[in-house]
Amino acid sequence: MKVLLLVLTLGGLLVASSVWAARLWLGVGEVEISGHGILALALGVLLSLGLGMGLMFLVFYSNRHGHDDDAGR
């Protein structure tokens, strides 16, 4: 029951934030974005995703190899 409530809550937040972002994006009107702006936006998204995935990989790698154990203390 708790898992279902968590999934519904997170799903609702995802839908609400997506609707808000779409309305905000469409509400600004006609905005010209140059090729450099699109490139910067794409690179920013890709670098942010890469950083997030790299950090999560390091967390899982560290946990798998016992670096997070309290045995050394």
Q: What is the pTM of this model?
A: 0.55
Predicted confidence band at 72 (pLDDT cuts at 50, 70, 90)? low
Hey, where are the domains in the chain?
2-26+34-64
Classify 23 as helix, strand or coil: helix
pLDDT in tens, 38-71: 999 999 999 999 999 999 999 999 988 887 777 6
pLDDT in tens, 4-22: 999 999 999 999 999 999 9
Q: What are the phi and psi torsion angles at 32 (to 5°)?
A: -85, 130
Query: How far is the C-alpha of 25 from the C-alpha of 19, rounded, in Å?
Result: 10
